[in-house]
Amino acid sequence: CTLPCYEGLFIPHHDNIIQDLLFTFATWHSYCAMRQHTDSHLATFKTVTKELGALMRKYVKEVCSQYETVELLRERQAQVEWSTKKNPEGEIMQGAIKKHFTMVNYKTHALGHYVCSIKYYGTTDLISSSLVS
């Protein structure tokens, strides 16, 4: 449902990459949300996951490198407020801090493990990380 919202916001080459990425994310998410998986669903899900990884790498390489992004004003204000409380006499950096999209974190790494997790533990709505007492 987000595809039309982003359509045409970027130059055509970047727009195509972003549209493909959004569609693949939506497809991948629909596989995650399924409550019953067959072997053929899991095989297709694995293929979509590989495609998602390739598109994310393409997005980082071809799109992210072309745009300079900075933190939001409210994020900067929160940072200044926190720094002031922690060290009232300290020097506060001026200006917005640059932000870069990175795939080097657990959230993006874990995307590749969903298929195996569903195969061994069941659908994602059945898994709980709560402590059992």
- Give 82's contacts (C-beta < 8 A, 6+ positions apart): none
Q: Work out the mean pLDDT of the chain and round it to a whole number.
A: 87
pLDDT at 131: 65
Helix (H, G, I), strand (E, B) or coil at 70: strand
Low-confidence residues in the chain, pLDDT < 70: 90-94, 124-133
Q: How far apart are CA 130 and CA 116, in angstroms?
A: 21
Q: Which residue type, as a one-letter code, is found at position 36? A: Q
- Give 6's contacts (C-beta < 8 A, 6+ positions apart): 15, 18, 19, 22
The pTM score is 0.78
Q: How far apart are CA 50 and CA 28, in angstroms?
A: 10
Q: Which residue type, as a one-letter code, is found at position 70? A: V
pLDDT at 127: 63
